[in-house]
Structure 1
């Protein structure tokens, strides 16, 4: 269906779509000059819709967006995507599961995890496989990464797919990689948590073979932080430790007062030792 004639799509979004939609050849010609690998089709205070590449789209909603406005914007985005890509788009939901998203587009897969956490490695791998399977099955297929909340979630998966797609790199892979890298650097790098950056590194290492998974359980007996940061000269914070195994909380320490220790160290001892296996945060 031609987006110029589809009455169900939002005129405002479609007008921007017509202005910013480019062909792959246009992107090939413009990237060296503009040094930009993304096309923003719709940007206002509520959402940011970006064509990371011609076939990978990011749709980000602010976490504090009021529910009614969020649903209205979601309907607009769905109408635009249907008018431009018909039934050729797969939506990967990186936030909490919502039935209204499925009603707008039946091709939805849920991969959400808590904000400000890194996703488990098996979930990163599952998303990359889903993206690759969908994109390689039809040259007209596109993937939409939906996120409401922490934009770092999108950054983790785009960076991970950048590593993953290099395994079966084609002739145009260098340009696609450049576009994904520019998106990560320009749009989401500041939103990435340290654990999210670390899991991007882990995933890349697993793919390259430089990191090996340990399948045997280990026992954690003690966590030592040799130097606590001094956020305020007179205190102002009370650290504690939480340990997650595959996103499940398995240990919470007591709250510590760093002012009681002149050495400004923190030592947490588990008694008995805590058995751990798999993804640990």
Structure 2
């Protein structure tokens, strides 16, 4: 296992993995996850809905938008199906670059390198707060063709970026070099539907050194300024092109995440 993995303190990616039923977490993550679920019992429903949104968005981008290149920033712990599995099931030649800055994610992502023979997958260890470290990485330049559209996925990560981090500016810098016809797929944390419950969960994260910045619908829309939103626009993740495959009943008040996909037209 890679050096530098802090198992003593809870980590957001491992908490997420624990709550959605993964296996890559430690006692501190489980303690944190249990505390959060006590504060908001719908948290697992919310997190699964976010994951399902990502899967539908990637399938849309591969199947309907014809995208063959994906950049997943803040990828988190690999949970099947991963982006490359979904995209390559549609188009085996699809290429995917995963980005995260957690040593455990790097360790677990080594298995991602085996996609289809026709496609490619790569992993970059970098912090999204420094876009140049992603865009200038050899794995980025060697895996993705800069002249062909790329889908930038930023899923369930910007709520851990505070105002001083300038999340909107960072996403724009990541999009800027991508050619016309590229897409942005995002999910963005909000407290607009269950403010008390989500507020309590946010306090649990903050108590463990992970302060959150939850956004209103208007604030979420700032990420998509200048882009062409795909219908139905910016909606709670469970309302973005539902495909009827979900088995659990999801209430609006159980979801604290906006989701959207938008196209870069110039």
More strand per residue: 1
Which structure would you say has the larger Rg?
Answer: 1
TM-score under structure 1 normalisation?
0.30
Bigger RCO (CA 8 Å, 6+ sep): 2
TM-score under structure 2 normalisation?
0.31
